[in-house]
Amino acid sequence: PLCGRRCEYRLGKTGKFLSCSGYREQIPVELPPAKVPAKPAKKSKASSKPAKPVKPRKVKTQPACAYAAPVNRQGKPLLPEKVDIRCPVDGSPMILRTGRFGDFLTSVNRETDFILNIDKKGGLKFPSPPPYVTELPCPKCSAPMNLRTGKRGPWLGCSKFPKCRGRESWAKIPVEQQQALEKALAIHEGNQPKFDIAALDGTPLKEGTPVVALVIPGEEAKLKFHADWDAEQRALGATG
- Residue 45 domain-assigned (yes or no): no
Q: Is the domain of 113 the same as that of 205? A: yes
Among residues 214, 194, 192, the alpha carbon closest in space to that of 203 is found at 214
Within-domain flag for 54: no
Higher pLDDT, 114 or 70: 114
- Nearest by Cα to 28 from 6, 5, 69, 57: 57
87 and 124 both lie in a single domain: yes
Find the range with the poorest average confidence among 103-117, 174-188, 208-222: 208-222
Same domain, 96 and 151: no
Indicate whether 105 and 90 sit together in one domain.
yes
CA 53/CA 25 separation, integer angstroms: 32
With cut-offs at 50, 70 and 90, classify the pLDDT of residue 58: low
Q: Phi first, then psi: what are they for 226, rounded to 5°? A: -70, 145
pLDDT in tens, 199-229: 999 999 999 999 988 988 766 666 666 666 6
**pLDDT over threshold 60, residue 46:** no
Is residue 108 within 8 Å of residue 82, measured between CB atoms?
A: yes
Dist CA 18 CA 66 (whole Å): 11
- Give the count of domains, the chain: 3
CA nearest 20: which of 78, 59, 68, 55? 68
How many other CB atoms are found less than 10 A from the CB of residue 155?
Answer: 17
Say whether both 141 and 112 belong to one domain.
no
